[in-house]
């Protein structure tokens, strides 16, 4: 009986041998064979690098799964093993159905062949007869949109043309399993739109999708589950929203560690400078009134830090409230209503250059809008908004509480909406140098409905469109 799983990855590991010198590779090849012949133990001339270690997960037929992680986490290696272009050191992969994969730019193309010849060659590799390729050729050519270049060698193609042709071939054969790596990033905006539409159509028709991207919003919207890889092991596996949250937490921890290490070096340098100054003072019998700075108290740990939040916690969001135009608590709105969101904050250290922000997402995970005090500051500084206080220039004392109100006309289509809130320190008066102090998912929710007999529009947002008879 056929399995319900399109992809089964069981205890897969991949080890590479790292040689410090080219001669070590030769020594390993020659001496290891001689030692085995005489029965002595083998002395390795290499270091082991485990790109993947004991990876296991299953993907059901028709599911869409994202693979996320930093560069070097093992994502591409894993995809190559699943596709069969790379053998694992241990473990096994089982797949059911025809696989179409877009892993590397132009992979599978012969640069000396024309686009037409490569279409037929790749179609044959995917198991199509020449007649089947003939039937799909016009569709492939229309999707790739490379025009007369189809008769030119692919070595003359730009990176965008290569990926368009490669993707067109893969998706037009209607695979049971589609595997897409970062290659789509080189395409233009219109082509990316067509790619996502085609992938959505394939998903609807039951194609299993394995999708790798650094674009978190694409992973959130294109997949319902995700696997988070870190240093070749699975750090988290679950829903896409939960996996992306863990990914963002990890990125924050890495960035914080780098900043703390830089701060430690600067502090050590300052300490040495003070000691040298003190030696000069003592040598000249001068009494110094300067005191050497102590490490100070440890940063307070917030008891309110929960599953859906992360940050350095020099300040924290204590509450997020949603009100209507009459300042009454409200969680249900018409698109024409005014919405007021108040973010309550408390600083745990002396702070400046803050940005308090919001992000609104619908229940499908699509980011609808993001805005922060820094966005308004930019408008004030640039003269787009004539008046107002620049929030970025304010300073906040330790244990100070403050709140920020965001007001807007709803304008959203019927759905459930999540509010994410954040406090960040911005090194410049625009988005360039950011330290996340506190981020919280699911800070609040509200719903929007429409009375179709009195007011109606389709889509995500009301654009206030007006229709009239043109003269």
Looking at the fold, whether 62 and 175 belong to one and the same domain comes out as yes
Looking at the fold, whether 235 and 350 belong to one and the same domain comes out as no
Q: Is residue 254 part of a domain?
A: no
Are 404 and 421 in contact by the 8 Å Cβ rule? The answer is no
**Alpha carbons 212 and 165: distance in angstroms, whole number:** 19
Q: Is residue 420 part of a domain?
A: yes
Burial of 171 (0-12, 13-18, 19+ CB in 10 A): buried
Looking at the fold, whether 102 and 233 belong to one and the same domain comes out as yes
Angle at 93 between CA 89 and CA 94, to 5 degrees: 155
Q: How many CB atoms lie within 10 A of CB 153?
A: 16
DSSP states along 267-325: HHHHHHHHHHHHHHHHHTT------PPP--PPPPPPTT--TTEES--SEEEEEEEEE-T
Looking at the fold, whether 323 and 425 belong to one and the same domain comes out as yes
pLDDT in tens, the chain (471 residues): 467 899 999 999 999 988 888 877 777 776 666 666 555 556 677 788 899 999 999 999 999 999 999 888 999 899 989 988 899 999 999 999 888 887 765 667 888 999 999 999 988 887 888 998 899 898 888 888 888 899 999 999 888 888 888 888 888 878 899 888 876 666 666 777 778 888 888 888 889 999 888 888 888 888 889 999 999 999 999 999 889 889 988 887 777 676 666 656 656 765 665 565 555 445 544 433 333 233 434 333 344 345 678 888 899 999 999 999 999 999 999 999 999 999 999 999 999 999 999 999 888 778 899 999 999 999 998 888 767 789 999 999 999 999 999 999 999 999 889 999 999 999 999 998 889 999 998 889 999 998 888 888 988 899 989 998 988
Looking at the fold, whether 161 and 66 belong to one and the same domain comes out as yes
> What pLDDT score was predicted for residue 369?
94
Looking at the fold, whether 318 and 234 belong to one and the same domain comes out as no
Are 163 and 187 in contact by the 8 Å Cβ rule? The answer is yes
Looking at the fold, whether 234 and 318 belong to one and the same domain comes out as no
Residue 383 belongs to domain with CATH number: 2.70.50.60
Dihedral of alpha carbons 170, 109, 14, 72, sign: negative
> What pLDDT score was predicted for residue 278?
55
Q: Is residue 466 part of a domain?
A: no
Of the candidates 331, 289, 471, 323, which has an alpha carbon nearest to the alpha carbon of residue 407? 323
Looking at the fold, whether 81 and 209 belong to one and the same domain comes out as yes
Q: Is residue 137 part of a domain?
A: yes
**Alpha carbons 448 and 4: distance in angstroms, whole number:** 38
Looking at the fold, whether 92 and 166 belong to one and the same domain comes out as yes
Looking at the fold, whether 394 and 321 belong to one and the same domain comes out as yes
Looking at the fold, whether 128 and 29 belong to one and the same domain comes out as yes
The residue whose two tokens read 């085609």 is 198
**Alpha carbons 120 and 131: distance in angstroms, whole number:** 10
Looking at the fold, whether 231 and 338 belong to one and the same domain comes out as no
Angle between helix axes 159-172 and 115-125 (nearest 10 degrees) is 40
Are 382 and 308 in contact by the 8 Å Cβ rule? The answer is no
**Alpha carbons 131 and 150: distance in angstroms, whole number:** 19
> What pLDDT score was predicted for residue 253?
79
Residue at a domain's end among 211, 245, 279: 245
Residue 26 belongs to domain with CATH number: 3.40.50.300
Q: Is residue 253 part of a domain?
A: no
Q: Is residue 259 part of a domain?
A: no
- In 348-400, DSSP assigns E strands to 351-352, 354-362, 367-372, 395-396
Q: How many CB atoms lie within 10 A of CB 164?
A: 24
Q: Is residue 174 part of a domain?
A: yes
* pTM score above 0.85: no
Are 67 and 49 in contact by the 8 Å Cβ rule? The answer is no
Count: domains in the chain: 2
> What pLDDT score was predicted for residue 376?
92
User: What range does the domain containing 167 cover?
Assistant: 5-245
Q: Is residue 293 part of a domain?
A: no
């Amino acid at each position: 009986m056929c399995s319900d799983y399109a992809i089964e990855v069981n205890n897969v590991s991949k080890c590479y041998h790292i040689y410090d010198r080219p001669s070590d590779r030769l020594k390993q090849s020659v001496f290891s064979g001689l030692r085995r012949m005489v029965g002595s133990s083998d002395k390795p001339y290499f270091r082991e690098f485990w790109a993947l270690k004991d990876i296991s997960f299953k993907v059901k037929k028709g599911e869409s799964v994202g693979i996320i992680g930093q560069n070097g986490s093992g994502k591409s290696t894993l995809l190559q093993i699943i596709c069969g272009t790379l053998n694992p050191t241990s473990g096994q992969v089982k797949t059911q159905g025809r696989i179409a994969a877009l892993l590397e730019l132009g992979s599978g193309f012969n640069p000396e062949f024309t686009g037409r010849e490569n279409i037929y060659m790749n179609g044959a590799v995917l198991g199509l007869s020449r007649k089947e390729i003939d039937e799909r050729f016009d569709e492939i050519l229309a999707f790739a949109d490379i025009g007369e270049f189809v008769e030119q060698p692919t070595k003359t193609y730009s990176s965008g043309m290569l990926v368009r042709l490669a993707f067109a071939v893969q998706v037009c054969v209607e695979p049971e399993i589609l595997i897409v790596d970062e290659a789509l990033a080189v395409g233009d905006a219109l082509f990316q739109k067509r790619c996502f539409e085609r992938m959505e159509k394939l998903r609807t028709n039951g194609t299993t999708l394995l999708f790798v991207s650094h674009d978190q919003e694409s992973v959130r919207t294109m997949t319902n589950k995700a696997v988070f890889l870190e240093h070749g092991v699975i750090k988290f596996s679950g829903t896409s929203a939960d996996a992306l949250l863990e990914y963002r937490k990890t990125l924050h921890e890495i960035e914080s560690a780098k900043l703390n290490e830089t701060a430690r070096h600067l502090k050590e340098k300052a300490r040495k400078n003070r000691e040298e100054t003190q030696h000069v003072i003592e040598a000249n019998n001068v009494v110094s009134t300067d005191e050497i700075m102590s490490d100070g108290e440890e940063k307070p740990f917030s008891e309110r830090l929960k599953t859906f939040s992360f940050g350095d916690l020099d300040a924290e969001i204590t509450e997020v409230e949603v009100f209507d135009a009459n300042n009454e608590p409200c969680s249900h709105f018409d698109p024409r209503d005014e919405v007021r969101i108040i973010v309550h904050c408390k600083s745990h250290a002396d702070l400046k250059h803050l940005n308090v922000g919001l992000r609104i997402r619908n229940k499908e995970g699509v980011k609808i809008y993001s805005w922060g005090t820094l966005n308004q500051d930019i408008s004030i500084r640039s003269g787009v908004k004539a008046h107002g206080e620049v929030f970025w220039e304010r300073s906040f004392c330790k244990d100070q509480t403050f709140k920020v109100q965001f007001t807007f006309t709803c304008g959203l289509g019927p759905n459930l909406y999540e509010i994410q809130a954040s406090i960040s320190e911005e090194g410049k008066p625009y988005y360039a140098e950011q330290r996340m102090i506190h981020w919280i998912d699911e800070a609040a929710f509200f719903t929007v409905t429409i009375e179709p007999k009195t007011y109606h529009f389709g889509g995500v947002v009301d654009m206030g469109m007006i229709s009239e008879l043109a003269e």
